[in-house]
Amino acid sequence: MNEPDAMFPVAAGAPPLPISFWEAFRFWLKLGFISFGGPAGQIAIMHRELVERRRWISERRFLHALNYCMVLPGPEAQQLATYIGWLMHRSWGGIVAGALFVLPSLFILIALSWVYIAFGETTLVAGLFYGIKPAVTAIVVQAAHRIGSRALKSRALWVVAAASFVAIFALDAPFPAIVAAAALIGYVGGRIAPDQFKAGGGHGKADKSFGRALIDDDTPTPAHARFQWRRVAEVAVIGGLLWLVPMELLTVVYGWGHTLTQMGWFFTKAALLTFGGAYAVLPYVYQGAVGHYGWLTPTQMIDGLALGETTPGPLIMVVAFVGFVGAYVKSVFGPDNLFLAGAMAASLVTWFTFLPSFVFILLGGPLVETTHNDLKFTAPLTAITASVVGVILNLALFFGYHVLWPRGFGGGFDGVSALIALIAAVALFHFQRNVIHVIVACAIIGLILNAVMA
């Protein structure tokens, strides 16, 4: 009864053994290749692996870290991996966890972008995407359900989630405003009705069935995670130099108006606007990359988003596609070095987009660790998590609309896509199949159906 099995490698009654840096390295590398489904799906994968299966971190500590990452600009799933890696194995653990979350996606997108722009063979890709898009819709719905079932444990948190959905769906409220309102509600609610705003909800414990974790609710904060002003100064200076030096080199070597320099500056600004994840910043990226700079066409931007949706890693990795296509088309290294130009630009924009995320985690992590048992800090963050459930539900409806009515309500309902989405939902909810298996199966189905209907 207490023996470990394939699904849960740690015996139910036994505390997990300490995890070495290299064992964690192997997991973070694997995560970089299986992190499909956007931020909601990626967070669900990490919860299943790190909280339920491996018990590296408790439910309450996981949700507290997630709440902090939700507040920050940047991809919250990648930041959560960085946070947990940092908590377990110091700064290098966080850097490795966050970098491995991104690098597989970068290499895959460089390869796919090259095939896309150099050969234009999109027939096969279109067939695969026809099956993948309904599957991604089902994955987002499942992720909203998983996070909601963990976070919405009181009536007040349900109200926060519902109000957030109405605000973004019906009123088109900006995500930062929704976050600020939820934090204020949590702060006030935590004082007048504290049971309604406890981490993990007001009815039962957050870690009710997973057993002791390596980083448990009562595990003391390790020495490296304690707040120190000297360490804050070190991280701030190093982070500033890691941005300033490459930006200065680009300016000196190529000039301020050069494509690569402008990409670095533009995606730095984009990185600081990504409250609420990639979908909150995509209109800004579209406006700048297509309308202002002309790095790619509207059609190419849409195709790049499709590639980003169907590759592992954060959806904001669509910036790698934008950088590759922009530098390739502009021939920034001359007509004989088109691939090199694209690969260099994709790497540069990835650097400038994700650098702030690492700095935010390494700067703010120690402060967050000092507050994980303090209700006046946890209540606002718990309310923010509830609000994000409503935002994710809106995202699921956004996906569903564009997948099931690809030409708008007047263009007819795509019954085949609806059937694929239903098959994916049954596989995920009823049979609890792996996300990768569902995506691969739906891609094959889409490829076959697209060939039949052609």
pLDDT at 202 over 90: no
Residues 113 and 402: beta-carbon distance below 8 Å: no
Q: Nearest 5 degrees, angle CA 357-CA 362-CA 366?
A: 135
What pLDDT, on the 0 to 100 scale, is given for residue 215? Answer: 86
Residue 214, pLDDT above cutoff 90: no
Q: What is the DSSP string of 65-93?
A: HHHHHHHSSS-HHHHHHHHHHHHHHHHHH
CA dist., res. 122 & res. 387, Å (int) = 38
Residue 329 near residue 96 (C-beta atoms within 8 A): no
More confident site: 278 or 345? 345
Contact assessment for residue 259 and residue 330, using Cβ atoms and an 8 Å cutoff: yes
DSSP string computed for 315-332: GGGHHHHHHHHHHHHHTT
From CA 83, how far away is CA 163, in angstroms rounded? 29
Kindly tell me if the per-residue pLDDT of 320 is higher than 70: yes
pLDDT recorded at residue 260 = 96
3-state SS assignment for residue 215: strand
Residue 205 has pLDDT above 60, yes or no: no
Question: Stretch 398-421: mean pLDDT, rounded?
Answer: 82
Ramachandran assignment for 432, one of left (phi > 0), alpha (psi -120 to 50 degrees), beta (any other): left
Label residue 74 left, alpha or beta by phi (over 0 means left) and psi (-120 to 50 means alpha). left
Mean pLDDT across the stretch 139-165?
82
Residues in the chain: 454
pLDDT band per the 50, 70, 90 thresholds, residue 364: confident
DSSP state of 293: S
Least Cα distance to 314 among 133, 62, 94, 77 occurs for 77
Element (H, E) at 155: helix 155-169
Compute φ and ψ for 296, nearest 5 degrees.
Answer: -155, 170
Could you give the CA distance from residue 149 to residue 155 in angstroms, rounded to a whole number? 13
Mean pLDDT over all residues of the chain? 82
Task: Find the radius of gyration of the CA atoms of the chain.
Answer: 22
- Residue 147 has a pLDDT of 72
| Alpha-carbon 444 to chain mean position | 25
Q: Of the given ranges (95-109, 127-141, 182-196), which has the lowest mean pLDDT?
A: 127-141
Rounded distance between C-alpha atoms, residue 283 and residue 100, angstroms: 27
